[in-house]
Amino acid sequence: MKNLNKVAVIVVCALSLSGLAFSQKVFSIVAVPGSTPNTAIAINNYGQVVVNTGTSSSYKVTLWNRVSGAENIGLIGTSSGGMAVSDTNQVVGAGDADSLGYLQAFIWQSTTGLRWLGSLGGNYSAANGVNASGTVVGVSNTGTNTQHAFVWTAAAGMQDLTADLTSVGGATAIAVNATNQVVGYYYPNGTRTPVGFLWTQTGGLQNLGSTGTLPFAINNSGTVVGQSAFASGARHAFSWTEAGGITDLGTLGGSQSAALSINKLGWIAGTSLSTGKSGLVHGFLWTPTDGMKDLTVLAGLGATEQAYSIELNDSGVVAVSTNKGSFLLVPKITGKFTSSQNPSVVGQSVTLTATLTSVAGAPPDGDTVTFSVGSKVLGSAVLNGGVAEFTTAALVAGKNSIVVNFNGDANYTPTKFTALAQVVNP
């Protein structure tokens, strides 16, 4: 997937909930076990989550999924951290390769193990983002101890994206999409204010936005999100497209916000200062049709839970790290249920239809729905476009209470519905 930002900024989220009341809790909360509060978190499109666990003496990075559990990626040292996970289950971040206290970028996959990526000549590097092809981006010290942005591939190794940079502030690459577009920011030589960039192999480094713009994520369509200073002087979350330029996404009422993640639906995720004297940092979801909404309302998070890092996947699952721990905010599945014939007669074939959806749309094709009466399973069917149909002639005379179970998957949690009362006449 995309990336998570290492810099301490205020963060933002976004979502399109057309036709649904935002006062409803449209997400379920799933606790992520083992995650230390206020640590980086990342999720891919298959529901796999990077979990960072830190103590006073050691750090541990695991890849966790609600269905399959956790897998330790085997890092050593006391400062290791995972930052991103791709759809091909590659985790990247930084670790202490030799227990000497110098962090080095790594890539890990269960089939190939841990690989250290080296540096641009210095004693520090860290990976921030990775795509499904295994292209890694991040930051590394050079031999002159200047931080430069890099892109790494298994075939070509580490490439310096800002080779001419000599500024103290340096540069860092934050995210990479499926077509190897890279976003990040750098401090131009002789300045103390960062400038965002978009890099491609053919076009090189291009400035993105005005001075002070910080890009944090890019989706596969090339839409960039991050934080930028606007005419009012406030720093707000933004989205950018080549055709439309930068759009101010606003805030949850406070003075600052920042967008950290964007998926293929155009949902944007991050955090914002909220209203009130407390000025708490809340997660948000935003779409062009519905604007910015507070995840505290949409998911029922505690009012004093402050978001630290946020990332969402293409199924609309939001991974959020807070001061209380880490959670997945999973779109709730809702359903409509019909019978082809009600009442029917004993021995007559009846087609039961379940139509399932969520704020992110229908569950994936191929997910399973089970139809039951009491403890008796009548049968099951797979979803196609959110619809599952099952035909049976086995219903007994009387009032049959049909129960529908959505069996869930790696992203969506199982859901049980008391669907309808099917009357069967003798």
The set of residues, in sequence order, having a beta carbon less than 8 Å from that of 279 and lying 6+ positions away, is: 254, 273
pLDDT of residue 291: 87
Between 390 and 305, the higher pLDDT residue: 390
What architecture (CATH level 2) is domain 334-425?
Sandwich (2.60)
**What mean pLDDT do residues 43-65 have?**
90
- In the chain, where are the structural domains located? 27-331, 334-425
Q: Which of 13-27, 44-58, 136-150, 292-306 has the highest mean pLDDT?
A: 136-150
The predicted structure's pLDDT at residue 401 = 96
**Cis peptide leading into 343, omega within 30 of 0?**
yes
Q: For domain 27-331, give its CATH number from 2.120.10.30, 1.10.260.40, 2.160.20.80, 3.40.50.300.
A: 2.120.10.30
Q: 3-class SS at 211? A: strand
Those residues with Cβ within 8 angstroms of residue 376's Cβ, 6 or more apart along the chain or in another chain: none
For residues 320 and 133, what is the distance between their CA atoms, to the nearest angstrom? 25
* Predicted TM-score (pTM) of this structure: 0.92
Tell me what the pLDDT averaged over the chain comes to: 91
Confidence of residue 278 (pLDDT cuts 50, 70, 90): low
pLDDT at 233: 79
Task: Please say if the pLDDT value at position 80 is more than 90.
Answer: no
pLDDT digits (tens, 9 = 90+) for 125-164: 999 999 999 999 999 999 999 999 999 999 999 999 999 9
Who has greater pLDDT, 321 or 59? 321
Instruction: Give yes or no for a contact between 383 and 333, defined as CB atoms under 8 angstroms apart.
Output: no
Asked if pLDDT for residue 7 goes beyond 60, the answer is: no
pLDDT of residue 17: 35
**Arithmetic mean of pLDDT, 213-237:** 93
pLDDT class of 219 with cuts at 50, 70, 90: very high
The predicted-structure confidence for 57-72, as pLDDT tens digits, reads as follows 678 899 999 999 999 9
Q: Which residue has the higher pLDDT, 20 or 165?
A: 165
% pLDDT > 70, the chain: 93
Give residue 203's pLDDT: 95
In this predicted structure, the answer to whether residue 250 has a pLDDT above a threshold of 70 is yes
Write the CB contacts of 151 (distance below 8 Å, at least 6 apart in sequence): 135, 136, 137, 158, 159, 161, 173, 176, 180, 182, 199
Whether 334-425 and 27-331 are alike in CATH topology: the answer is: no
At residue 77, the pLDDT reads 67
The Cα–Cα gap between 6 and 410 comes to: 27
b/e string for 170-185 if b means 16 or more Cβ within 10 A? bbbbbbbbeebbbbbb
pLDDT of 28 higher than 90 = yes
Q: What is the pLDDT of residue 398?
A: 96
Least confident range of 14-23, 179-188, 239-248, 287-296: 14-23
Tell me the backbone φ, ψ of residue 411, rounded to 5 degrees.
-100, -45
- In this predicted structure, the answer to whether residue 6 has a pLDDT above a threshold of 70 is no
d(CA 386, CA 361): 8
Model confidence band, residue 276 (pLDDT cutoffs 50, 70, 90): low
Look at residue 377 in the predicted model and tell me its pLDDT. 96
In this model, does residue 304 exceed pLDDT 50? yes
